[in-house]
Structure 1
Amino acid sequence: MKIKPTSSRMFSLLVLYDMQTLFFERALEKISDEDAHKRLDTKANHIAWLAGSLVQQRYEVANLLGYTEKQQAESLFKDGKGIQDNVQYPPLSQFLQDWNKISPILQELLSKVTDEKLDEKFEMMQGMVMSHYELITFVIYREANCIGQIALWRRLLGYDALRYDDM
């Protein structure tokens, strides 16, 4: 990690954030856009949706911390929108482009977040109040979960396993 966080509570979360920034890119390596939409006769979220929802999540956290831009496919994911049948999601290259744009911006925002901001509570959705720290912690957990799902899809679709070398 190149950036020293303002809050010591953010150090380990930023280490995971950096790892997941790399793992997301590797998880999508060489996957065709056709395969990214396959659900193999299940109701599982396909790779395209998983990728877009992760990009959306990073933009939404950045928005909570003052950044105002949105991902290109925001309309497909905003307001917690789940996977939609019979929708052609954007190519993985578009999600990677937005991921590579937001990742350093959000890393910087997360590194500058103060303990006061981390402790600040907000209403996530009606009746659900949480602190910014709780949200950021959950987001980091969810990123690992979704990248793991993409890694499983890689194997189910006949691609090589996710690479963990040269970290």
Structure 2
Amino acid sequence: MYGFIVLYEMQTDFLLSALDGIEQKDAQKRLDTRANHIAWITGSVVHSRYFLAKSFGIDLPSVTDELFAGNKGIIDDATYPLLADFIKDWKEISPRLQEALTTATDEKLDEKLVIPGMEITLFEMIGFSSYREANCIGQVALWRRLLGYPGMNYR
């Protein structure tokens, strides 16, 4: 778990760095592609942390509850929440989930999660979530450049 905790801490900061300075007017731009935009990518990552937190009994509301329920993909004509609202939720859930991850017992990590089409352990879900967060943060960092913003700062 130590490795996952280190990644979790880095990715908590990296998402904020990737979003730094992005104007709301650019958050839903897709540049004539079918690619997921920054608002969807960000909301999806935030929603994933809230989903994972529920496995530890942390059940808080999020601006992602409706648009991302059931792992919905991007909705073409939807208006997604403000980046500021996603950031607020990110800052709300991240320390609580980090505490849960840090204090998780082996028994807790071995619990089975049933997800449509598969059954995995909580530990495996943490590993997948860590990988996916890094991937999504990289996508936001790429969008920064495509939209004319300076590169992401890995402070």
TM-score range, shorter chain: over 0.9
Structure 2 unaligned runs (5+)? Answer: none
Listed as ranges, the gaps of 5+ residues in structure 1 are 1-9
User: 1:44 is paired with a residue of what secondary structure?
Assistant: coil
May I ask how many residue pairs the two structures share in their alignment?
155
The superposition leaves residues 54-99 of structure 1 with CA deviations (integer Å, 9 ceiling, x where unpaired) of 1100000001110111212310001101100111111100000000
Q: 2: distance between equivalents of 1:113 and 1:70?
A: 22
Q: 1:143 — aligned with what? A: 133
Q: Structure 1 residue 130 and structure 2 residue 120: aligned? A: yes
- Residue 93 of structure 1 is matched in structure 2 by 84
Percent sequence identity over aligned pairs:
53
Say if 2:146 is the partner of 1:156.
yes
Two-structure CA RMSD over aligned residues (Å): 0.8
The structural deviation recorded for 1:124 is 1.6
Determine if contact 2:18/2:152 at 8 Å carries over to the other structure.
Answer: yes
1:122, CA displacement in angstroms? 2.4
Q: Structure 1: which 4+ aligned runs deviate by more than 4 Å?
A: none
Partners in 2 of 1:148 and 1:122 — Cα distance?
27
Query: 2:72 pairs with 65, 78, 81, which one?
Result: 81
TM-score, normalising length: structure 1:
0.90
- Residues 24 and 86 (structure 1), Cα distance of their counterparts in 2 relative to 1, 3 Å cut: same
- Cα distance in 1 for residues equivalent to 2:50 and 2:133: 13
Q: Say whether the 8 Å CA contact 2:26–2:147 is kept in structure 1.
A: yes
